[in-house]
Structure 1
């Protein structure tokens, strides 16, 4: 284990250092293998070249008339010795020897060895078989590479042999000299490889924004944990619309368990038109779309770097989940508003009752008390028995008190009732709350008549109905009041009825808008299907 740690200690942590080492090792191995192969090829080539030269020179010497004449006579002469020495220097050989069949030298670069027997014992094939060949043997000058050729007379009889030789040290020196120059180029290639490795490593680090591999891996793990812990769906696509990342929440909302990476986003979310919006560089904030039967809020951000589109990121969350928190907050606000209004109203009533008691108008005081409590208690009793949902009952009581605060009559048809509880009460609260708010505002805005709002809840066959009427000025005919941003109010909010229409889609409901025959203002009738539990 310690040895392993010691080896790892020398591996740098930076990507530049690692790439330089890896590329350098690769280049070094390639150059090493090339050098070994090259040296072997060059060595073999030069050795074969020397063998051929020695053999060719030996044959040339064996055909010289002066050599044939000397062997025929069996005697040497000074002229032959000088000619062979000049030839030896010319071809760079270490020796040229002429000898008789019995190996007695007639010519040798060292005069003292003329007349002595040829050393090495490798000349027999030339004088016995008439062969021309090369061999390695140790002679009087040392180990040498030498060529042999028989010297023949005119009639073809073998008179002796000629031998030309190169010392082994001389041959190896030639080979080593031939290998030095390529070795220089190989070291230059290694140096260039190191520089190239450094440049490549610098370029790669630039592509990774200066981050090291371990930092990238750490960031990737952190990103996975962070994005999968977010309670919103996240999908990232590249410039071609191919999915690069999806978190667990996105798969849950879309109802997909399979890996989506690499697939086209349009195969999963055609309603979002993400590719088109990315190409147009559009940004989307809180757009409401129906995905898998649920109202979903979408935000889209196009990734643009140096004026080039690299992709887009879409974040989304089911509106119902967000509405749940909003409704919880809304109920708290309604309770607070209810208590505030009741405190204010009952403070005024108590002052009036106190005055009547001081004036000893006991019957009048009793009448005021009964009148005040009768309407509210009747409404509470109605919501408790006829509306089988506390959330909806709470919104009705809250709007009743709001209407009373601004002196708007709030009429409830106590004959109808909802026996069946809605399957999505938070969406029903959105619908009913917006209808009552708009009705109260519309009734109060019409100063020609006393403001009044009427509400009726009833159930027929397999549907729940809610009907809201007011004494306002009616509905405009030149605009679509259910479009986002469209409003008849002075502050131009235009959100309430749009939210209402989105909630109705989630409920698979239907709304009809018209004129109230009884109150003269607007009349809305909402029809919701009943989902029976089997």
Structure 2
């Protein structure tokens, strides 16, 4: 769904726009705060620098050679004024004033102020301690330092004041502020540019949607994700499970902490695990896992030409496969009946012709010979098998085998009474094994025969199916029960791909076991193994609590 379809007509701001505005506001606030802090710090630093420089100049002049000698003169001004002005110009201060302990000036940048009283506090310096202050004098507000001048006996004989006007400090501060504010403006521009780039990227990633739209999309997608009857898995390129909906968790029996873990750690069925780790495209592939038969589809997720992972859907087709198996059996039985009806019509024409020719005895013998053989098989099955579904299946398979030129022999030890196995499980087991055997025998050399034995005893249910086909090589015995294994591609008789895998699934579900091999030394007393070829034996144990009565469905 396009973002424009999701956005309401009110034109609400997208997430990217809101983030951009918020980031710009934050950046401006931070920039203003930083600039204010820098200005305050620069002002403090400028004042401190002025005080430090004034104190250093005053102290240096107070300690300069010849100062005491000049002070001892009757009029110190002619000797000190040139020295003070030279020092003022060299040090960059605005004034250097030498005065008596009473505050009478000996020097001043304005010669007219010499002899007048110094404007400011001098008491601390008179007591022998240097100090700094900001005071308004003849040159205006200034930052000044006043230090005492000691003689050889450590008596204060004069004071030296050096200062920098506040106007000069302000000019210096303004020059620094221009640089600081310029740097802040450049930083603000860079930050705004970076924010705009981030906003554009966010806009592309969110498709220009607003927070309400994203929330609504998430809620809808989450509801759909967990409401669908198909399992959904999302796996990244590192084979980590990113998402699994409720149905996928149920079908695969995933642990609660499955999300974020590698699929190799989730105990998945081998064929399904191979599909998830391969990343290949799959269309309605059938995989077996646990008790379920799954139809699996897989697609790659690609963005800007880069593969991000795979999306896999799982559809439970267990019941459908069971019903399909029963329908296949019924279809086969129907086709066999259709063929027999056609053959019966031919026989009927033959019988009518014989009657017209006056050969009534030959007509009776010809018409009842085939019927008697078929009735014998039907009577045997009805007497030996109490499960009508199984009896109908075997009768249908016998007719189907006959049409394919294969003799289906029901072993004499076949006896199923008070069955404890579900009818659809019997259809899966017997139907797939017999279908495989008919295919194998039909592809082999004459005599083409399939021998079936189904019986119950004190231990449980035993199903044996043997054929006269080529058998299964020992190297392929383990692979024969994997999903998709088939030797038909190589023109071999066995391996229906899914059929044997379904058989093994039913066997595992009932805690049974299955054996497969080749009859190499069958004796004449062994009626089942006499056929040779492949022999499949399924054993299902008797449950502690019997299942539904014969003919019933669970």
The two structures have a TM-score, normalised by structure 2, of 0.68
Which moves more between the two structures, 249-258 or 196-205? 196-205
8 Å Cα contact 2:27/2:191 also seen in 1 = yes
Structure 2 distance, partners of 1:70, 1:387, is: 141
Structure 2 distance, partners of 1:512, 1:422, is: 27
8 Å Cα contact 1:300/1:314 also seen in 2 = yes
Match of residue 461, structure 1, among 458, 461, 465: 458
Structure 1 distance, partners of 2:307, 2:389, is: 47
State the 1:385 CA deviation.
5.8
Match of residue 429, structure 1, among 423, 427, 430: 427
Structure 2 distance, partners of 1:187, 1:498, is: 72
3-state SS, counterpart of residue 509 of structure 1:
strand
Counterpart residue number, 2:539: 528
8 Å Cα contact 1:395/1:429 also seen in 2 = yes
State the 1:503 CA deviation.
1.1
Structure 1 distance, partners of 2:404, 2:286, is: 33
Deviations 1:11-59 (A, max 9, x none): 7533xx6776676667666665655555444433332332233234444
3-state SS, counterpart of residue 423 of structure 1:
coil
State the 1:418 CA deviation.
0.4
* 1:269 to 2:271 alignment: no
Give matches, 1:507-522, under 5 Å.
507=507, 508-511=513-516, 513-514=518-519, 517=524, 521-522=531-532
Change in 2 beyond 3 A, CA 1:46/1:461: same
8 Å Cα contact 1:341/1:402 also seen in 2 = no
Structure 2 distance, partners of 1:454, 1:528, is: 17
State the 1:361 CA deviation.
7.6
8 Å Cα contact 2:293/2:321 also seen in 1 = no
Give matches, 1:111-260, under 5 Å.
113-120=113-120, 122-127=121-126, 129-150=127-148, 158=156, 161-197=159-195, 218=217, 222=221, 225-226=224-225, 229=228, 231-232=230-231, 234=233, 236=235, 238-239=237-238, 242-260=240-258
Match of residue 335, structure 2, among 334, 337, 359: 337
8 Å Cα contact 2:437/2:469 also seen in 1 = no
Unaligned runs of 5+ in 1: 1-8
State the 1:419 CA deviation.
0.7
Counterpart residue number, 2:550: none
Deviations 1:278-309 (A, max 9, x none): 88888999999875577888889999999999
Counterpart residue number, 2:392: 394
8 Å Cα contact 2:450/2:466 also seen in 1 = yes
State the 1:93 CA deviation.
3.7
Counterpart residue number, 1:6: none
Deviations 1:362-412 (A, max 9, x none): 887777776676665665565556434343233223223334556766665
8 Å Cα contact 2:242/2:259 also seen in 1 = yes
* 1:486 to 2:487 alignment: yes
Structure 2 distance, partners of 1:173, 1:204, is: 46
Change in 2 beyond 3 A, CA 1:388/1:138: farther
Which moves more between the two structures, 416-425 or 282-291? 282-291
The alignment's C-alpha RMSD in Å is 5.4
8 Å Cα contact 2:271/2:287 also seen in 1 = no
